[in-house]
A and B are shown apart, each in its own frame.
Chain A
Amino acid sequence: MTEQGQTAGADQLAIDMRAITKVWPGVVANDHVNFSVRKGEIHALVGENGAGKTTLMNILYGLIKPTSGEIAINGKIAQIHSPRDAIGLGIGMVHQHFMLIPVMTVGENITLGYEPVTRGDFYDKASARQKIEELTHRYGLTLDPDARTGDLPVGLQQRVEIVKTLYRGADILILDEPTAVLRPQETDELFGVLRGLVQGGKTIIFITHKLREVMAISDRITVMRRGHVVGHLVTSETNEQEIARMMVGRDVLLRVEKTEAKTGSVALKVDHLVAESDRGVPALRDVSFEVRQGEILGVAGVEGNGQSELVEVLAGTRSATSGRVLLGDRDITNLGARSIRGAGVSHIPEDRRGAGLVLNYSVADNLVLGRQRSERFTWRGIVLRLRAILNWAKRLIQAFDIRTPSPEAAARTLSGGNQQKIIIAREMSSEPRVLLAAQPTRGVDIGAIEFIHRRIVEQRDAGAAVLLVSAELDEIRSLADRIAVMYEGQIVSIEPSGTSEERLGLLMTGGGREERAAG
C-alpha cells in the first residue's frame, strides 16, 4: 500500500482496535489483537470456537472490559465502558443468542432502552410503530411492530435484532454467527439485507466459521486462532482452503475422503411409520425406508419436517402410533430406549447438551452413560467399578482425541466440539449395528468436523448402517451414499449421492412431490 493509500486508509477506518488483550483467570482470550474495519465494507471475522472472536466483539460493544489495548472509532480514540457507550458511538450488535424478550412485541423489543414516551413517562406505542415503519421501509425490511416476538420464525427474530440496532442509530453492525440458526433460504435473505445495508452506508462485521459464507459475502477477512490474529486477507484474493489452514493451523480436509460403499443385508427397515410431535400433531406420516449394512443414508430436509421425531422413534425415546421398525429380522418398534440400545442401535442425539450428556457429570461418567448396568462397569448392577470406568475413559479420551484436563473434569467445562466427541466416542465404542447420527457436527469446529466425519465413514466401513440427519446440505452430500429428503413428515424422494444442491433444495421445500418414491 502506498503512503497516500495509508493516510486515506486511516481516515476510512470505522474501527481500529489496537493491541487488545483480555486475560481471564488462566486463559488469555485475546493476546495483543489488532483488528481494523474500513467504512462501508463487510468484514468477516473468522476462527474456530474459542479463538476469541466473540470476546473481541464483546469488548468492542462494551460488554467486557479489556485488560489492555485501545480502540478508535472513526479515527477517534473511544472509551467504551458499557453497551450504552457503544450504542452512542454508532455500534450495534446482533448476538448469536438473540437478546429478545419473547413475550414482548416487536416494537417493545426494538425500542427497549430508548423508548419513545409521551408526557408522564407513558410508553408511546404509536410513535414507536411509526419510527419502526420508517426504518423498515427505508431498508426494505418488512416487520409487524405489534407481533409477539416469540411467535416469529428465527429469521424474522434476527431481523428484529437488526432493526433494533438501526433504531439506535448504528452505523457499524456486529453480527455474531448470524447464520448458525438460519435455514438456507433465510441465509440468502439475510445476505440480501446485509448488501442493502452496506449500500445504505453501513459497515458490517460478520463473525462466522462457515467458509462458504465468508467467500460469498465478505470484502475482507481477519482470521483468529487461540486468541491471536493469524491473518488479514482480502476475500477476492484467497480461497476456502487457505482460510481453513489459517484457522486450524494445519491443512484441513474440507471434503470427506471415502470409497464406494460395500453394502450388505438390510440392517434397519422402517415400515409405514407414523408418529406425533410433542404438540400432538402428526410429525411422521407413513415413512418407509431401508438402510443396509455398510451404507450411510442421509436424511435431508428443512428442520421441523419430522427428522427429529424420526430419530427419536428409532432410538426409542418417542412412541410410534403405527408402523414398524425392524432391526434385521427383529421388531424393535416402541421397545424403549434401553432395549433398543441393547439390540445394537447407537444414537448421537441432536440436542447434545440436553439429551446427549449430563453436563455436570465427569467426562468419564458420561463415557459410560447407557452402559452403566453392564457387568464390566458395575458389580452385580449395584456398585460402580470406578477403576474400570476410569481406565475405559482414558482409552476413549485418547482414541477420540477428547481435549479435557482430566477424565474427572465436568463435561460442562469442555468446548462444544469436545463435548460432541464424548458422545461420538461413547456411541461408536459399542460397535453398533445401526448408528443414528442427528446433526453430529452442529456448532462444532472445522477441525472436529473433519474428525467426526472420518469416524462416521469408519463406522460405515466397519459394517454399520448409518442414518445421518443433518440440516447442512454440504454434510449430507459429502457423507451420504443415498439421500432421503423429508418434507412435512414424509420421505418425498430418495436420491443418489451425487444429486445437485438445487434439486435437493427444491425437494426439501415441497417441489417434486409427485415423484414420491417409497424407499
Chain B
Amino acid sequence: MDLIGQLLHLFVSGDFWQLALRNAALLSLPALGGVICERSGVVNIAMEGMMLTGAFFAVVAAQAWHNAFLAVLVAAIAGGLMALIHAVVSIRFHADQIISGIAINIGAIGLTTFLNAKISNFQGLPQVDLSARLPQVNVPLLSNIPFFGEVFFQQNIMVYVAIAALVLGNIMLFRTRLGLRVRAVGEHPQAADTAGVNVYRLRYGAVIVSGLLSGLSGAFLSIGIAYIFNDNMTGGRGYIALAAMIFGKWTPWGAFGACVIFGLGDALGASSGALSVPLYFLQMAPYILVLIVLAGLVGRSTPPAADGVPYTPEAE
C-alpha cells in the first residue's frame, strides 16, 4: 500500500483519533494553565517542571494510599507549590520570569530524580497498582456510537476533566468579572490598579492555577497513561504546551486546537508500525507544520501587553 493509502487508513480509524485526543488533552491542561497565567501578565515557561513534579508526587501518593483521587489531588498541590515559587520570585521580587521558569524546570528534574532514587533506594518507584490508576470511563450509550463513540466517549477520565477545564477556563476568562480583571491586569496593570483592582492577588492566583493544572496533567501522564514514574518522564511536553499556548494566541480553544495538532503528531508516531515512513520523520511533521503556520499563515500572535513585566505601583 502506498503512503497516502496508509495515512487514509489511519485517519478513518477510531483508535488513531482516540489516541490523538488523549494526547491533546494531556497537553491542553498545562496549555490552559499557561494561557491563564500569561493573560494575567506573568510569563510562564515552567509548566514542564510543574508537570514533572505533579507526575512524581502522583506516583508517590498512589503508592502510599492506593487511591487515584488522592494521588491527583497531591499532584495538583505539588504543581501549585512549584507555581507559588514562580509567583513569589516574579511577582514579589520582580525577578526575570524566564530565568525563574528555567530554574523551576531544572530544579524539578533534580528534585524528582533525587527523591525518586532516595525513596526507592535507587530501584525506581514500582508500577502503579490497578487500584490507583486513573480509570478509562465509557460514557453509557454514547460510547456505542460508531467511530465518534470510540473517539470521544471511551476515554480516560482525565480527558473529560481537561475538556471541562477548557470550557470553564474559557467562560472564566471571557465571560466573568474575574476574567475581565485577570485580562486587565495582564494588559495594563496600572490601569487596573487605578481602577481599584488588586493586581498582585490576581497574578498570584493565576500563576498558582497554572501550577494546579500542570500538576493534574502530570498525574494524568504518570498514573493515567504510563502507570510508572521515570526520571524526566514529561520529556518536553510542558514546552510543547507552551508552544500550543502561543500558537493558540493565548486563548483556551486556540491552544486546544494546537494541542490537537501536536496530539496527532504523537499518535502518528505511535502508529508508525502501520506506515512505511521513518518514525522520527512522522514525529517531526506537526512541528514543521506549526513552523510554517506560525511564520505567516495565522498572522501575528500578540501576547498580552504587560506579559512578563513586573508591576511596581510607585514606578514614576
Q: Which residues of A contact B (CB under 8 A)?
A: 55, 61, 63-64, 82-84, 87, 93, 95, 98-104, 108-109, 112-115, 117, 120-123, 164
Task: Pick the contact of B176: A82, A83, A98, A121 (CB < 8 A).
Answer: A121
Q: Give the CA-CA distance A172 to B279 in the complex, in Å.
A: 70
Residue contact B184 to A112, C-beta cutoff 8 Å: yes
Nearest B residue to A64 via CB reads B314
Q: A63-B313, A121-B178, A123-B175 are contacts. A104–B194 as well, Cβ < 8 Å?
A: no
Q: Which residues of B contact A (CB under 8 A)?
A: 175-181, 183-184, 187-188, 190-197, 305, 313-314, 316
Q: Give the CA-CA distance A98 to B181 in the complex, in Å.
A: 17
Chain A residues contacting B188 (CB-CB under 8 Å) are 99-101
Residue contact B194 to A115, C-beta cutoff 8 Å: no
Chain A residues contacting B316 (CB-CB under 8 Å) are 55
Instruction: Name the 9 nearest CB pairs between A and B, nearest first.
Output: A113-B195, A99-B191, A84-B196, A113-B196, A101-B187, A112-B195, A115-B177, A101-B188, A83-B194
Residue contact A122 to B176, C-beta cutoff 8 Å: yes
Residue contact A123 to B194, C-beta cutoff 8 Å: no
B175 to chain A, nearest CB (A): 6
Chain A residues contacting B192 (CB-CB under 8 Å) are 112-113
Specify the main secondary structure of chain A where it touches its partner: loop
> 13 pairs across A/B with beta carbons < 8 Å?
A61-B194, A63-B314, A64-B314, A112-B180, A112-B192, A112-B195, A113-B192, A113-B197, A115-B177, A121-B176, A121-B178, A123-B176, A123-B180
Residue contact B191 to A101, C-beta cutoff 8 Å: yes
Chain B residues contacting A164 (CB-CB under 8 Å) are 195
Q: Give the CA-CA distance A115 to B305 in the complex, in Å.
A: 22
Q: Give the CA-CA distance A120 to B180 in the complex, in Å.
A: 14
B257 to chain A, nearest CB (A): 21
Nearest A residue to B188 via CB reads A101
Residue contact A87 to B196, C-beta cutoff 8 Å: yes
Residue contact A121 to B195, C-beta cutoff 8 Å: no
Chain A residues contacting B187 (CB-CB under 8 Å) are 101-104
Chain B residues contacting A95 (CB-CB under 8 Å) are 194
Q: Give the CA-CA distance A501 to B314 in the complex, in Å.
A: 42
Q: Give the CA-CA distance A37 to B193 in the complex, in Å.
A: 26
Residue contact A82 to B196, C-beta cutoff 8 Å: yes
Q: Give the CA-CA distance A115 to B177 in the complex, in Å.
A: 7
B302 to chain A, nearest CB (A): 9
B266 to chain A, nearest CB (A): 34
Residue contact B195 to A99, C-beta cutoff 8 Å: yes
Q: Give the CA-CA distance A102 to B305 in the complex, in Å.
A: 9
Q: A122-B175, A123-B175 are contacts. A63–B194 as well, Cβ < 8 Å?
A: yes
Chain B residues contacting A113 (CB-CB under 8 Å) are 181, 192, 195-197
Nearest A residue to B304 via CB reads A103
Nearest B residue to A83 via CB reads B194
Residue contact A104 to B196, C-beta cutoff 8 Å: no
